[in-house]
Copies of this chain bind each other. A is one copy, B any other.
Amino acid sequence: MVTTGDDARSKILRATLQLVGTHGVPEVTNRRIAACAGVSLGSITYHFPTQADLLRAALVSFVDDETARLRELAEQYRSQALSLAEAADLTERIAHDLAFTAERIAPFELYVQAGRDPDLRPASDRCWRAYDALTVAVLIALGVQAPEAIAPTLVATVAGMQLRRLSTGAQTDVAAAVLTLLRGAAGTG
Contacts and interface: CB of A to CB of B under 8 A. Distances in A.
A114 interface: yes
A128 B22 contact: no
A48 interface: no
Nearest to A125: B168
Contacts of A184: 180-181, 183-185, 189
Contacts of A150: 180
Contacts of A180: 150, 153, 184
25 contacts: A24-B113, A105-B116, A108-B112, A108-B115, A108-B163, A110-B167, A111-B163, A111-B167, A112-B166, A114-B166, A114-B167, A115-B166, A115-B167, A125-B167, A152-B161, A155-B160, A156-B160, A156-B161, A156-B164, A157-B160, A159-B160, A159-B163, A159-B164, A183-B184, A184-B189
